[in-house]
Amino acid sequence: MKRISGFLIGLLALGFMHAAAVKAEGSAPQPPRQSNGLALTPPMGWNTWNKFGCTINETVIRQAADTMVSSGMKDAGYEYIVIDDCWQSGRDAKGQIVADPERFPAGMKALGDYIHSRGLKFGIYSDAGKLTCGKRPGSLGHEYQDARTYASWGVDYLKYDWCSTYSQDAKSTYETMSDALRASGRPIVFSICEWGLSKPWLWGNTIGNLWRTTDDIYDHWQGRHSYEHSVMDILDLQVGLESYAGPGHWNDPDMLEVGNGKMTIEEYKSHFSLWAVLAAPLMAGNDLATMTPDIKTILTNKDVIAIDQDPLGVQASRVAKHGDYEVWARPLKGGGRAVVLLNRSKASHPVTITWDDLHLPSSLSLKVRDLWTHKDLPGAKGSFSAEVPSHGVVMVRLD
Q: Which positions are annotated as active-site residues?
A: 161, 216
| Binding status of residue 120 toward ligand GAL by CB under 6 A | no
Cβ atoms of residues 163 and 173 within 8 Å:
no
Which pairing describes strands 365-370 and 375-381: parallel, antiparallel, or unpaired?
antiparallel
CA gyration radius for the chain?
25
Q: Which of 79, 146, 156, 161 binds ligand GAL (CB under 6 A)?
A: 161
Cβ atoms of residues 76 and 67 within 8 Å:
no
Contacts (CB under 6 A) with ligand GAL, residues 175-214: 193
Cβ at position 52, least distance to ligand GAL in Å: 11
Distance of CA 38 to the CA centre of its chain: 12
Nearer to ligand GAL among residue 165 and residue 343 (C-beta): 165
Q: Which of 120, 133, 332, 371 binds ligand GAL (CB under 6 A)?
A: 133
Cβ at position 261, least distance to ligand GAL in Å: 18
> If 0-12 CB within 10 Å is exposed, 13-18 middle and 19+ buried, where does residue 37 land?
exposed
Nearer to ligand GAL among residue 256 and residue 278 (C-beta): 256
| Binding status of residue 58 toward ligand GAL by CB under 6 A | no
Residue 260: closest CA among 226, 283, 234, 237: 283
Q: List the x/- string, 14-53, binding to ligand GAL by CB under 6 A.
A: -----------------------------------x----
Cβ atoms of residues 78 and 118 within 8 Å:
no
Q: List the x/- string, 236-275, binding to ligand GAL by CB under 6 A.
A: ----------------------------------------
Q: List the x/- string, 63-92, binding to ligand GAL by CB under 6 A.
A: ---------------------xx-------
Query: What is the Cα–Cα distance from 325 to 373, expressed in whole angstroms?
Result: 21
Nearer to ligand GAL among residue 174 and residue 328 (C-beta): 174
Query: What is the Cα–Cα distance from 393 to 343, expressed in whole angstroms?
Result: 6
Q: Which of 156, 216, 219, 308 binds ligand GAL (CB under 6 A)?
A: 216
- Report the run of H or E that residue 293 belongs to, with start and end: helix 293-299
* Residue 105, strand partner residues: none
Which pairing describes strands 393-398 and 365-370: parallel, antiparallel, or unpaired?
antiparallel
Cβ at position 337, least distance to ligand GAL in Å: 32
Stretch that binds ligand GAL, among 130-138, 167-175, 233-241, 349-357 (CB under 6 A): 130-138
Distances (CA, A) of 322 to 285, 318, 350: 32, 11, 12
Neighbours of 364 (CB within 10 A): 12
What is the total count of residues that contact ligand GAL (CB under 6 A)?
10
- Amino acid 371 reads L
Query: What is the Cα–Cα distance from 94 to 97, expressed in whole angstroms?
Result: 9
Stretch that binds ligand GAL, among 62-70, 132-140, 172-180, 335-343 (CB under 6 A): 132-140
Q: Which residues bind ligand GAL (CB under 6 A)?
A: 49, 84-85, 132-134, 161, 163, 193, 216
